[in-house]
Chains A and B, each alone.
Chain A
Amino acid sequence: MSELPSPELAGTIVERALANGGEFAELFAERGDGTQMGIDESRVEDVTLASGGGAGVRVVKDGTAYFAHVDGIAEPDLERAADEAAAALRGARSEPVPLRAQQTARQEIQIPPDDVAADRKAQMLRELDERARSQGDAIVQVQVTYGESRRQIVVANSAGTYATDDRTRVRLAAQSVARRNGSAEVGFETLGGHAGFELFDRDPARIAEQAARKALTLLDADPAPAGSMPVVVGGGFGGVLFHEMTGHGLEVDHVHQGASVYQRLLGELVAEPLVNAYDDGLLPGAWGTDGIDDEGTPAQKTQVIEEGRITSFLYDRLRAERDGAELTANGRRGSFRDLPIPRMTNTYIAPGDADPEAIISEVKRGFYAVSFAGGQVEPASGDFVFGVSEGYLIEDGKVTKPCRGATLIGNCLDALAAIDAVGSDFDMKSGTCGKAGQWVPVGTGQGHVRIRQLTVGGTAV
C-alpha cells in the first residue's frame, strides 16, 4: 500500500478537484490495517487480516456535494477520484487556499496491538472462554471476539486545512448463553477503547465473567411487565438511552431536514436543571475519541444540555457554515467510501448529586434497566424504543426479580422532561452507531438516571 499523500500531493489533488469550479473541495485519504479473531465452541476461528486504503474526494457547489471514492491511495487513484468528483460540474476553475499543516493531539498508545504476537491474542480469547464457562454448568455457549485496527488519515481541503490522524482501537466483546430446563438466555459485555493493548493489562476476562453472570441471572427471570411506571436506567451502557433519544435529534442534519423534535428548541428548557450533557471527543482513550473529526476539525468537548437547556446542536463543517455556527468537530464518516455527516463522539449525561442507591430506594414499584441490547429513535417524531438486555423489577424500593424480554418505549421530549434524578456515579461504554448506512465507534455514558414515568413493553399484561 502506498504512503498517505503529502501536503504537496494533497494540494495538487484539491486543486484538480476544483477544475470545473466549486466553493469547496476536500480530499480524505486513509490506510488501514486490522486483525479480527474470535473464539466459539472453545476454538479460535474467524481470523481475518485486513489491509487496504482508499480516498474520497468531494466538491461542493451551491449546496450540492459531488463525491467520488476509489480503492487505493497512489497518485493515479487520487487523481481519478478528483476527476470523477469534478466531472459532474460545469463551471470555471476555482482556486483553493494554500494548505497549512495542522497539529493534531493524538491519543497515547503504549502497546501497539500490531506488536503483540497473534498467539497472545488467541491466548487471551481462551482465557475469556474459560472464565465464562467457569461461572456455572448452565453456561453452554461462549463467544468472544477480538478486534484491533489502526487507521491513518489525511484530510486536506480548499480552505487550507491539511490535518492527519493516527487512530488505534482495540475491543473485546463477550457473549454467553445459559441454558436450563428448556429456557435459554444471553449475556453480553464489551471492553474497548481508542487505545493499545495496554487496555487489556487489568484482567480483561472479567467481561466474560460479567456476560456469563448476566445470562445466568436471566435464567431465573420472569416475563417483563407491560405498562407505564418509573424507570431507573443504569450507568455506563444505560447512556445509550440519551444517545438515542437526544443525541441523534441534536445532529443538525436531522434539524435541517425538519426531522428533529429539537428543531425549535435551541436555548429552550427541555429537562430539569439537574440534567447536564456533553458530546466529548476529547475524553482520553475513549472508544469515540479521535484527534480530529473526519473533516480535519480538531476534536472538542461540546455541552449540549446545560441545566436542562439545549445549548448546542452537533455540526459538520458545511452545515455549521450554513447556520453561522461554531464548528463542533462532529463531521464523521464510516470510511473513505462515505460523505461526512454530523455524528456523535462520546455522549453522556454528566454526573449529578443523587446517591445511586437512593435513586432506587425511592421507587415504590418500577423497573430497573441495567443494560440495553440497543435502541432506535425516529428523530422526526421523537419516538424511541430500547431492548433491555438486563432488567429487574423494583418493588418497595428494592431491586427484586430479573425480567426478560423488556423494551422501553417512549417519546424523547417526554422522557427527557421526566428525568427526576441523576446519580453521582459514572461509567462509559463502547458501542457502534449506525446512521445512513455508516458505522462509527461511539462512547455512551452516565451514572444512574431515573425517569419518573416510561412505558415498559413486555409480554406480561
Chain B
Amino acid sequence: MELAEAARAAVEAAVADGASDAEGYALQQRNREVRVHGGKVESLSAATERGVGLRAWIGGRAGYAFGTDLSEQGLRELGSRVVTAARIADEDEHAAAPQADGDYPRLDGLRDPAIADWPADRLVELTLAVERAATSHDRRVGNVEQAVYADADDEVAIHSSTGIECSYEASNCYAYVRALAGDADSREPGLGFRLARSPSGLDADAIGVEGAERAAAMIGAEKPASRACPVVFDPTVAASFAGLIGSALGADSVQRGRSPFADMLGEEVASEALVLHDDGLETEGLAASPCDDEGIPRARTALIEGGRLRTFLQDAYTARRSGADRAGNAHRSGYRTPPSVGTSNLIVQSGSSTTAELLAMAGDGVYVTEIAGLHAGVNRVNGVFSVGASGRLIKGGELADPVREFTIASDLVSMLQAVREAGSEARWVPFGGIVRTPPLLIAEMTIGGN
C-alpha cells in the first residue's frame, strides 16, 4: 500500500470504529549505517522501516497506537486499538484533532537524489577515509574509537479526518569519528563530524582532521581551580544549551508549570547579544519540512529577540489551550511516539566577532569544547544546571592549557542574560536537535574544579 494511502486507510478505520476524529502519520525510512575501526569494517547495516502512528479522539479523549502491518486487516486492527486507547483516557477540553491551516510552503532540496547513487561499498570507502584522515593528521593520534557513517532516506505522509494532507520526502546523513590521542595511560577522545543531505556533501578529510585536532588539543589536560570567570562555548556546546532552551520554551512545559520561562513571556530573559529562532523553512537545516509532524505548515518563529522572550513553541493542543495564533511546532521521533511540542531547526544568530576576538574579549577564562551529563545535570523546572565539562584555559585572550573534569554551573536565565557576544563562525550541530550556532561568550559562570 502507498504510504499516503495507508495513513488515509488507518484514519478511516479509526473513524469507522467510533473515533470522532483521527490522524495518521505514515513513515517509510531507508536506513544505512557503516561502523569502522582500525581499517576494518565492524558492521554494515541496511533496513527499511515502514509504520503508521495513529491518533484518535472521541470528543476530548485522545489515544495513540502504532503498527507496522500496513495490510487492510492490519490497519483495521490498528484503528480498533487506537479507539480502545482513547476510551481509557480522561476527557480534556483542549484535546482535539489539529485543523488544516493554509497552504504548505514549497521547499526545494529536502532530498538529495545523490543519496541513491552511493552503494554500500562507496559508503565503506568514505568511512574508512574519515578514519584515515584522523589517524594520519597528527602522530599523537594513534587510533580512533570508531568512525561511523549513517543515513536516512525518508518519506512522510500525514492525513487527518479534519482535512490535513501533507507529504514529503527528505534525506539526511552524517559521519563522525571519535579520535583518540595520547598514550596508553591517558587517552583523550576528540569528536569530528559533519551533516549533509547526501554523502556527496560530506568531506571525509575535514571530519577526520577535526577529530584529530580536538583529541590532540586535550593531551595533558588537568583539573582547573574552582572560580567564577568568563566562559566561551564552542558551537557544539552552545548547541546543546540552545537545544535545552528550545525544549524549555515548549508551551506544554510552560502550561503545565514545568518551565523556568513559564511567567516570562515578553520579559527580558537574555542579553541582546543572544537571538534565537526556530526555523522550519531553512532548508540548509536537516529539520526543515513543509509541515510539522501533525501537518501544520512550518514557519520561522522568533523565540528570543531584543533580549525578550517573544513566543513559546506551540503544537495544536497547546495553541488551543492558550489561544495562541498558530501551532506548527509539533515534533515526533518516528511513528512510534505521539507528537509533542519540539523544535525544528534552532538558529542562534551570529554576531560579528571571530572566535579569536571572542577569546580576546574573555581575557582570562575557560573555552568549553565538550560538556557531559546535560540530561542529568539540569533541573528542567527551575533551570538550575551543573554539568561536567572539558576544554582549554583562556589566558591573556588566547587558548592555553587543556582542562577537564570540571563543572560549569548556573541557571538558564542567568546564563542567557550573561551572554556578552555571539561569534561569527557558525555551524550546524546535531546536538540538542538540529542547531546552527556560533561560539558564545558568557560574561561569567561558576567553574567547579580543585
Question: Does B243 make an interface contact (CB < 8 A)?
Answer: no
Question: Does A267 make an interface contact (CB < 8 A)?
Answer: no
Interface SS majority for chain A = strand
| B145 pairs with A385, CB closer than 8 A | no
| B446 pairs with A461, CB closer than 8 A | yes
| A258 pairs with B377, CB closer than 8 A | no
| B64 pairs with A184, CB closer than 8 A | no
Q: Which residues of chain A are near B92, meaning CB under 8 Å?
A: 43, 45
Q: Which residues of chain B are near A51, meaning CB under 8 Å?
A: 65, 67, 77, 81
Question: Does A70 make an interface contact (CB < 8 A)?
Answer: yes
Task: Tell me the nearest residue of chain B to A50, going by C-beta.
Answer: B66
| B63 pairs with A461, CB closer than 8 A | no
| A64 pairs with B42, CB closer than 8 A | yes
Question: Does B272 make an interface contact (CB < 8 A)?
Answer: no
Question: Does A257 make an interface contact (CB < 8 A)?
Answer: yes
| A48 pairs with B379, CB closer than 8 A | no
The answer for the CA separation of A224 and B188 in the assembled complex, in Å, is 29
Q: How large is the interface on A (under 10, 10 to 19, 20 to 34, 35 or more residues)?
A: 35 or more
Interface residues of A in 323-361 (CB under 8 A from B): 337, 339
Q: A47-B86, A64-B44, A84-B46 are in contact. Are A52 and B68 (CB under 8 A)?
A: yes
Task: Count residues on chain B whose CB falls below 8 Å from chain A CBs.
Answer: 83
Q: A48-B65, A68-B47, A376-B373 are in contact. Are A264 and B184 (CB under 8 A)?
A: yes
| B384 pairs with A405, CB closer than 8 A | yes
Task: Tell me the nearest residue of chain A to B120, going by C-beta.
Answer: A88
Which of B42, B65, B86, B187 is in CB contact (< 8 Å) with A65? B42
Question: Does A105 make an interface contact (CB < 8 A)?
Answer: no
Q: Which residues of chain B are near A54, meaning CB under 8 Å?
A: 68
Q: Which residues of chain B are near A380, meaning CB under 8 Å?
A: 145, 178, 180, 187-189
Interface SS majority for chain B = strand
Task: Tell me the nearest residue of chain B to A227, going by C-beta.
Answer: B226
| A406 pairs with B258, CB closer than 8 A | no
Question: Does B122 make an interface contact (CB < 8 A)?
Answer: no
Q: Which residues of chain B are near A254, meaning CB under 8 Å?
A: 145
Question: Does A226 make an interface contact (CB < 8 A)?
Answer: yes
Q: A227-B226, A387-B376 are in contact. Are A339 and B65 (CB under 8 A)?
A: no
Question: Does B277 make an interface contact (CB < 8 A)?
Answer: no
| A1 pairs with B69, CB closer than 8 A | yes
Segment at the interface with A among B287-295, B304-312, B324-332, B405-413: B405-413
Question: Does B395 make an interface contact (CB < 8 A)?
Answer: no
Which of A45, A185, A457 is in CB contact (< 8 Å) with B381? A185
| B44 pairs with A71, CB closer than 8 A | no
Which of B44, B65, B90 is in CB contact (< 8 Å) with A43? B90
| B381 pairs with A409, CB closer than 8 A | no
Residues of B within 8 A of A (CB): 37, 40-51, 62-69, 77, 81-82, 84-86, 88-92, 95, 120, 143, 145-146, 178, 180, 184, 186-189, 223, 226-228, 256-258, 260, 336-338, 372-373, 375-382, 384-388, 390, 404-411, 446, 448-450
Residues of A within 8 A of B (CB): 1, 37, 40-41, 43-54, 63-72, 84, 88, 118-119, 122, 140-141, 177, 179, 183-186, 224, 226-228, 254, 256-259, 261, 263-264, 337, 339, 372-378, 380-381, 383-387, 404-407, 409-411, 455-459, 461
Would you list 8 pairs from A and B whose C-beta atoms are within 8 A, ordered by A residue?
A: A51-B77, A63-B42, A67-B46, A68-B47, A118-B84, A141-B257, A410-B405, A458-B386
